[in-house]
A and B are shown apart, each in its own frame.
Chain A
Amino acid sequence: MADTVKLTIDGHEVHAPAGMLVIDAAKLAGIEIPAFCYYEGLTLQAACRMCLVEVEKMPKLMTACTLPVAEGLVVRTETPQVAAARKYMLEFLLTNHPLDCPVCDKGGECELQDMAFRYGAGESRYNETKVHTPEKQYSPVVFFDAPRCILCYRCVRICNEGMGVNALGVVERGAVSEIAPNHGDHLECDECGACIDICPVGALTSGIYRYQTRPWEMTHVGTICTHCSDGCKTTLGTRNDRILRGNNRDRSGINGEFLCIKGRYGFDFYDHPDRLQAPLMRVNGKLEEVSWAQALAAVAEKFKQTIGAGTFGIVGSNHTTNEENYYLQKFARSVLGTNNIDHHRTGDVVTLVDALSGKSGALATVADLCERKAFLVLGADLALEHPLLSYQIRANYRHHQAHVYVVTPKAVREDKYAAATMRGRDYESLRDKLKAQPELVILFDDSYQGGELRKLVDFGESLGIPVRYVCLVDYANSRGAIDMGLTPELLPGYQPSGQSGLHLDEMLAAELSVLWVVGANPLENAARKSGFLVVQDLFLTETALQADIVLPAACAYEKNGTVTSGTGEVQRLKRAIETMGAKPDLEIIGFIAREMGAAAALGPWTPDAVFEEIRKNVRGYDVAMPALSTGGAAQTMPVNGRVAVPGPAGLVRSDRNGLFASGTLGRYSKVLNSVLESRLSR
């Protein structure tokens, strides 16, 4: 390759692409050059001076993080001079460091500890007083302990460059320089906690995790965040069946290390005191705790009585797994014999898939957000409603200067770097600008549905460039619910059901014999009309309060299974903690089937077995297992060729959860509520 240069690092010949930095080129040869301030994807600082290396024909040591490779460059990273530079740089760093490792959250996974261990001196020559300042709290989740800070500016950069928030800066100068909020004494930010995770030392600590545990006492479980539809992988640190921390430092998911406040801290609803621990049954008008055996028998009895004699309605969930949704619709259609099955639709995926049939347009993946050249954002405030997608488009802009076009009702964060911004819905006036792009990804929210959406697809087709679409949906498995056929008109894989059935609103309004709600709260603002109401949920929601039987369900962090992100990546949930009284919805449904004597017809209710069936039967889900099994994401592509089934209008409603709300789960998250409360008092 013409643009590859040859250089020598520690005697190894290295072929690196032109423009690559020596610190990265060294990695190609398996050589680690230590650094604090250098961070992949963020701007260069050259502030920590740890990556100083010897370069032939250069009089002084050079920082490997700012030195681009060049033909014939000879670099040495392990000479006595370099070793001394590292040793004394650490000596400088430790002069004002409190060395309070025994009580520091970071102890055990601290980069400064690791560096001092590997490159540092055995003893300190510093005999003077250290600069000390008291710890400060910058927000409900962010604490700052200045003396531990080594001023690598990673937090400042991730906040400004990565998040586009610019909440952190530096005040004072010299040895008393300090990281501080840019607005007064508090952070005005997304509370995403990226600054905490990226901190190489224990200077920025999390209000949720601090002083909870030593890192090595935790078990780390990689699973998928259960809040929005972006599908971020979050690695939960657990100890004694308690979740203590969420992060994704191994960058193993589609989100890299990105997480918003929900992914990082919003797991805390799982041990809310209001969490249901035992089944409840209505006795003399009051909900009373009963055993699982009693509750399941009662549900099975009622279901059996109703088959053939009465009417069923089944409401599925945006949060439950693909396996649960698949099993539920199979149960409804084959055991209960009803097609009255639906869920709360938050984006018009059905119409999109239909409109794209036979057209050149395609569904976009998360990778497209990082790689494609142009984007059209319609309606949504991405930064608040879909933080990962917003982050990825922002990163794409920073690294590849992607052109972003924004047509939204109100000002959004993308405006700052957009090639064109427009308030309202007149995206057609951007036609000429969009036509000039080599390719385009269109992201749209629930305000584009039905005919409006078909018009949008026609517009995309008329541009004459490759166009991909993201139909924004709200929750962790909103997309999976549609894919798994939780609608009367479609079977799993968008196969037309060929039968009529009641939609969500119709079911709530109808006087059904039995309404069975699995993981949803459709009667939040309505009274039940059905004769009998069975609810599976984590909490006593408005719907559960009206139920005859409430079955306590496990949350996403307490079960195995798969979920599908809004952009179609299917990913695996991995059980992080055990439940006390609640059970995964799949088990509950399976147990009801067993009680009814219908289990044989439905097949086993283990997630693996059900997913195998999904792979065989659901179009787009025949994914390769290795990636999925090892915690990666597998792309699904259920598109093209189906018979048009017009869905009724008005069924699609997004909840428009911002950064600090997440439907029912958000109501029970202490962290999300504490942030909202802290803002109210301002």
Chain B
Amino acid sequence: MLYNEPSPLETRVLSRRFGMAHSESIETYLATEGYQAFLKASKMTPDEIISEMKASNLRGRGGAGFPAGMKWSFVPRTSPKPKYIVVNADEGEPGTCKDRVLMENDPHQLIEGVLIAGLAVDAHAGWIYIRGEYRYLIDIMDRAIAEAHERGWLGKNIQGTGFDFDLYTHTGAGSYECGEESALLESLEGKRGVPRIRPPFPAVAGAFQCPTVLNNVETFCAAPAILLNGGAAFAALGIPKAGGTKLTCLTGHINKPGVYELRLGFPVKQMIEEVGGGMRNGKKLKAFIPGGSSCPVLTAAECEGATMDYDSMAQRKSMLGSGGVVIMDEDTCMVKACLRLMKFYAHESCGWCIPCREGTAWLTKIMTRFHSGGGSPQDIGLLGDIAKNMLGRTFCPLGDAAALPMISIVEKFRGEFEDHLNGKPCPYEHSNRMVTA
């Protein structure tokens, strides 16, 4: 099912089957060019597939934005070890909810994407690592995999191409950290979900120490469209350095929250005003998180002239991330929003390395005390300092993900912290309760 009305401003490539009757069924999929990209790819050499992917300028949609074609090309195809495909469907970034609509509405698109990756790197098995909270999606994916097996789109000698591929779902156990690719692999192997030392990267030593392509759901879902219409056509949908469309999750204080497929480079203002139907209750924009809670927060002023793409966000010292947009209006208490974020990271820190484990917990404790009126002026500087001491020194990006929003909120909304000093009640106590700590 769909959670929101589509917007006319969308460019529906990955989401083009959304809203069709039984869009999740293989019949609908086959009736709408389904698996044609795979058949086309099966007649291409791996190098041709990878060069199409490179031409598409598709950058990883999980948040880091690494060029997907490049990642696939790193897999040593001549290695005597088996190669694997792993789909990161451990969608846990606060504000992000795109992978679930992709799997829910068009599971076969994901399967086809995986098959194309399999052809590209000579892999014959893969897993979809789905976060445990997406219980219902595991059923949907399992059903789709069963359908594909029945119709000969998975298994031995797929459609007479001579290509074998088996795909399995694997359930996460409730850890945000397992969305980090190496922790995901540890978890997939049945171990504690903590990140691995890299190098070696998964392309060389991934699942069970074998070469592995590991991408986000949305990245794989883009592959069929790229193969079908050509990488150049997909690239042309976006801007020069980042091809295609991006599923953007609009959340927060706007009138029409939802998942919208927008061209990369879509103006932020237009996205809020037209796609999202404007700010709720006509309030003013206060803060904007462009790509999930791990990105530095932007102020309303910084949103001026901004576009939804990697470079525009980088210029503003933030990130496009996973496309989880959080919009906060003028009534939002930024201290409380920050507290909520820190609680999340402290809860989700895997505990492997010292700065993240102790830093997130410490920040949460200070923020809790601070928001309840127990803060001191030194705390404000200390918060930023602790976050800066974590930044760049943690084992995996989770520590940075906690530090970046903290640093940006303290820097950009210092006044709100000062408003909470000296036992004063939260000035936003009576405003809306979107952010609950």
- Residues of A participating in the B interface, judged by any CB pair closer than 8 Å: 44-49, 52, 60-61, 66, 84-85, 88-89, 91-93, 95-96, 125-126, 128-129, 131, 150-151, 169-170, 172-177
Within residues 344 to 397 of chain B, which ones have a CB less than 8 A from any CB in chain A? 346-355, 357-362, 365-366, 369, 382, 389, 392-395
Please tell me if the beta carbons of B353 and A93 are within 8 angstroms of each other in the complex: no
From B347, B348, B361, B395, contact of A96 by CB (8 A): B361
Q: Which residues of B contact A48 (CB under 8 A)?
A: 353-354
A271 to B232 CA separation, bound complex (whole angstroms): 84
Q: Interface majority SS on A: helix, strand, loop or mixed? A: loop
Expressed in whole angstroms, the Cα–Cα distance for A129 and B365 within the complex equals: 8
In whole angstroms, what is the CA distance A340 to B358 when docked? Answer: 71
- Which of chain B's residues 107-165 have a Cβ closer than 8 Å to chain A? none
- If the complex has contacts A128-B365, A174-B351, are A151 and B357 also in contact, measured as CB distance less than 8 A? yes
Chain A residue contacts of B349, Cβ below 8 A: 173-175
| Residues in A whose Cβ lies below 8 Å from that of B359 | 92
B425 to nearest A CB, angstroms? 22
Supposing A47-B353, A175-B351 touch, asked if A95 and B389 sit within 8 A by C-beta, the answer is no
Residue among A88, A93, A96 making CB contact with B389, cutoff 8 Å: A88
Give the nearest-CB partner of A151 in chain B: B351
C-alpha spacing A125/B175, complex, angstroms? 30
- Minimum CB–CB distance from B326 to chain A (whole Å) comes to 23
A48 closest partner in B (C-beta):
B354
Size bin of chain B's contact surface: 20 to 34
Write out the residue numbers on chain A whose beta carbons fall within 8 Å of the beta carbon of B351.
151, 170, 172-177
- Expressed in whole angstroms, the minimum distance between the Cβ of A603 and any Cβ of chain B is 62
Q: Are B392 and A92 in contact (CB under 8 A)?
A: no
B352–A49 contact, CB under 8 A? Answer: no
B347 touches A66 (CB 8 A): no
Q: Which residues of B contact A (CB under 8 A)?
A: 175, 177, 192, 197, 346-355, 357-362, 365-366, 369, 382, 389, 392-395
Cα–Cα, bound, A499→B353 (Å): 70
Smallest beta-carbon distance B277→chain A, Å: 38
Complex: A95 Cα to B395 Cα, angstroms: 19
* A126 and B362 contacting across the interface, CB-CB below 8 Å: yes
Partner of B346, one of A60, A88, A125, A175: A175
Question: Complex formed: what's the CA distance from A44 to B351 in Å?
Answer: 16
27 A-B residue pairs with Cβ-Cβ distance under 8 Å, sorted by A, are: A46-B197, A48-B353, A48-B354, A52-B393, A60-B392, A85-B389, A85-B393, A88-B355, A89-B355, A92-B357, A92-B362, A93-B354, A95-B358, A96-B361, A126-B362, A151-B357, A169-B192, A173-B175, A173-B348, A173-B350, A173-B351, A174-B349, A174-B351, A175-B351, A175-B357, A175-B360, A175-B361
**Beyond A49-B394, A88-B389, A125-B382, is A174–B354 a contact (Cβ under 8 Å)?**
no
A203–chain B nearest beta-carbon distance, Å: 14
Could you tell me the distance in whole angstroms from the C-beta of B134 to the nearest C-beta in chain A? 20
Given A46-B197, A52-B393, A174 and B347 contact (CB-CB distance below 8 Å)? yes
B357 touches A174 (CB 8 A): yes
> What residues on B are CB-neighbors of A45 within 8 Å?
197
Instruction: Contacts A44-B197, A49-B395, A129-B365 given; indicate if A150 touches B353 (C-beta within 8 A).
Output: no
A49 touches B353 (CB 8 A): yes
Q: How distant is B177 from chain A, measured CB to nearest CB, in Å? A: 8
**Considering the chains assembled together, what is the distance between the CA atoms of A85 and B355 in angstroms?**
10
**A68: nearest residue on chain B (CB-CB)?**
B199
CA distance A425 to B90 in the complex (A): 52
**Closest residue of B by beta carbon distance from A97:** B358
Contacts of A52 in B (CB 8 A): 393
Assembled-state Cα–Cα distance A125/B363 (Å): 12
Q: Is the CB of B392 within 8 A of A61?
A: yes
Q: Which one, A60, A66, A93, A170, contacts B358 given CB within 8 A?
A: A93
Nearest CB of B to A621, in Å:
49
A89 with B350: CB separation less than 8 A: no
Contacts of B348 in A (CB 8 A): 173-174
B358 contacts across to A, CB distance below 8 A = 92-93, 95-96, 175
Name which of B350, B382, B395 has the most chain A CB atoms within 10 A of its CB. Answer: B395
Once bound together, how far apart are the Cα atoms of A424 and B221, in whole Å?
Answer: 57
Q: Which residue of A lies closest to B358 (CB)?
A: A92
Q: Which residue of A lies closest to B389 (CB)?
A: A88
Taking a contact as CB atoms under 8 Å apart, the answer to whether B392 and A49 are in contact is no
* Docked pose: A169 CA to B354 CA in angstroms: 17
- In the bound assembly, the distance between CA atoms of A333 and B78 in angstroms comes to 74
